[in-house]
């Protein structure tokens, strides 16, 4: 027996200094998402304005509500029709360039409207320039950022970015209403022009087109090389439309989302303030109610994104549309010169439901159309804005003809019931994402 081995005593290792805890850095994806959020707020400033200007423009120029509504409807239609091409242009030229140009167009249109004297100029500045600019920063912008920068938490991020539009409404509606009431509509238009211009440096300095630009993987995913710029962006956008249009889910998504636009942007955002003013409610009070919608819109949209990560998007949409339709049927009974508690309850509910439809609709686009989902969602968003445009115009015409908005509220409530049925019949995709278009 070896005595050395037998007498050996285990020696405890010498203590070492504890390692300093590593500081976890915020993933760059969240910074890009924050810049996107601020950008959408800046672009959304103008969307807070049209509903406040029906009466001032009517007083200044003698234009009917139908004529003013026609300019607003052109803005909304171009907003929607630009969105799918904007998504493809972002693939070709990069997010930063497209969004910086879009913000500049919004500012130019809003600023030029200060000197307008004829209705055709209203169509040019509000309809064409602002419509094209805001369309390039539509929800397809959010979808592109989310798809590129996030693998995990996509539903949550979609909800947060969707809520940016509501945040812009929350900030700018009371401000613009106060400016219009105290100083007139022209200073309010200058205010939203400046809001768009202020955001441009943030986009240019902090936005990045792809995680690979900074050597990162998407949040929650693996590193992928940045794809080469895609040529033929317009052709690709149209091709995706024709391919998607051969599938039933596209028409169900587009039709239901058109009703969503009709019952939100086209109806409430455009005509709620003038309708409340018809019942002798002060314009500042009515605008404040829309701002409250913005508060609960943020809560509802983020919560809807969380729900979309966990539940069937079809059932969520059906519930959202059905409850929205019921609430619109009661709205004519709630209009009074003062803000009563039942109106506050309507505003809170409508805010929670306003764009809660976006995260599940975008999730269904991803499920059905895979890699082309951002462009498909752009076309679905186009239908949203076409629906909004029709009601923005027809709502004004109905008010001119009937002297009241009641028939518009009832018709929109019935349409929401139709939308609830449409989303329930969308088929579930069981094959891998992206196979739907190939089928």
Tens-digit pLDDT profile for residues 23-81 = 567 778 888 888 888 888 776 667 667 777 877 888 888 888 788 888 888 887 887 77
Quote the CA–CA distance of 406 and 348 in Å, as a whole number: 21
pLDDT tier at 291, thresholds 50, 70, 90: confident
Averaged pLDDT of the chain: 80
| More confident: 56 or 154 | 56
pLDDT at 6: 46
* 369 contacts: CB under 8 Å, gap ≥ 6: 240, 244, 376, 433, 434, 436, 437
Residue 92 has pLDDT above 90, yes or no: no
pLDDT at 430: 59
Residue 135 has pLDDT above 90, yes or no: no
Residue 162 has pLDDT above 50, yes or no: yes
Q: Which residues of 50-67 are buried (b: 16+ CB within 10 A; e: fewer)?
A: bbbbbbbbeeeeebebbb
Kindly tell me the burial class for residue 231, based on how many C-beta atoms sit within 10 Å of its own C-beta (0-12, 13-18, 19 or more): exposed
Q: What's the average model confidence in pLDDT over 373-388?
A: 84
Terminal CA-CA length for the chain: 78
pTM reported for the whole predicted model:
0.69
Residue 5 has pLDDT above 70, yes or no: no
pLDDT tier at 8, thresholds 50, 70, 90: very low
Interior CA angle at 413 toward 410 and 418, to 5°? Answer: 130
pLDDT at 48: 67
User: Are 273 and 283 in contact, with CB atoms under 8 Å apart?
Assistant: yes
| More confident: 269 or 111 | 111
Q: What's the average model confidence in pLDDT over 165-170?
A: 69
Residue 4 has pLDDT above 70, yes or no: no
User: Are 149 and 207 in contact, with CB atoms under 8 Å apart?
Assistant: no
pLDDT at 435: 42
User: Are 50 and 58 in contact, with CB atoms under 8 Å apart?
Assistant: no
pLDDT tier at 287, thresholds 50, 70, 90: confident
């Amino acid at each position: 027996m070896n005595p050395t081995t037998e007498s050996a005593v285990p020696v405890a290792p010498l203590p070492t200094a504890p390692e300093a805890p590593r500081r976890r850095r915020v993933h760059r994806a969240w910074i890009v998402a924050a810049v996107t959020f601020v950008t959408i707020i800046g672009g959304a400033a103008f969307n807070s304005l049209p509903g406040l200007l029906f009466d001032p423009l009517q007083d200044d120029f003698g234009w009917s509500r139908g004529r003013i509504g026609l300019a607003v409807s052109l803005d909304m239609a171009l907003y929607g029709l630009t969105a799918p091409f904007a998504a493809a242009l972002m693939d070709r030229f990069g997010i930063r360039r497209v969004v910086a140009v879009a913000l500049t167009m919004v500012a130019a249109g809003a600023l030029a409207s200060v000197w307008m004297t004829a209705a055709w100029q209203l169509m040019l500045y509000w309809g064409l320039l602002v419509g094209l600019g805001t369309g390039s920063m539509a929800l397809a912008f959010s979808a592109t950022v989310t798809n590129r920068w996030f693998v995990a938490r996509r539903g949550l991020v979609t909800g947060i970015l969707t809520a940016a539009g509501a945040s812009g409404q929350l900030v700018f509606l009371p401000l613009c209403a106060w400016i219009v009431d105290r100083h007139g509509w022209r200073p309010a238009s200058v205010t939203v022009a400046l809001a768009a211009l202020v955001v441009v440096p943030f986009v240019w300095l902090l936005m990045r087109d792809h995680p690979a630009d900074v050597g990162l993987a998407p949040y929650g995913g693996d590193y992928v090389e940045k794809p080469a710029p895609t040529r033929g962006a317009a052709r690709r956008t149209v091709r995706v439309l024709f391919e998607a249009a051969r599938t039933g889910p596209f028409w169900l998504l587009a039709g239901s989302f058109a009703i969503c636009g009709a019952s939100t942007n086209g109806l409430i955002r455009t005509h709620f303030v003038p309708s409340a003013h018809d019942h002798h409610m002060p314009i500042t009070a009515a605008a404040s109610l829309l701002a409250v919608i913005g508060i609960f819109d943020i809560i509802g949209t983020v919560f809807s994104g969380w729900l979309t990560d966990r539940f069937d998007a079809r059932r969520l949409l059906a519930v959202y549309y059905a409850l929205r339709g019921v609430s619109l049927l009661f709205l004519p009974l709630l209009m009074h010169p003062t803000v009563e508690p039942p109106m506050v309850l309507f505003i809170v509910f409508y805010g929670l439901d306003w764009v809660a439809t976006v995260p599940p609709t975008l999730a269904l686009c991803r499920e059905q159309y895979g890699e082309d989902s951002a462009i498909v969602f752009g076309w679905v968003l186009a239908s949203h804005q076409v629906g909004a445009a029709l009601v923005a115009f027809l709502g004004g015409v109905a008010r001119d003809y009937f002297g009241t908005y009641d028939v518009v509220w009832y018709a929109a409530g019935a349409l929401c019931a139709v939308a609830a049925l449409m989303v329930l019949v969308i088929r579930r995709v069981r094959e891998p994402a992206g196979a739907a278009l190939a089928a």
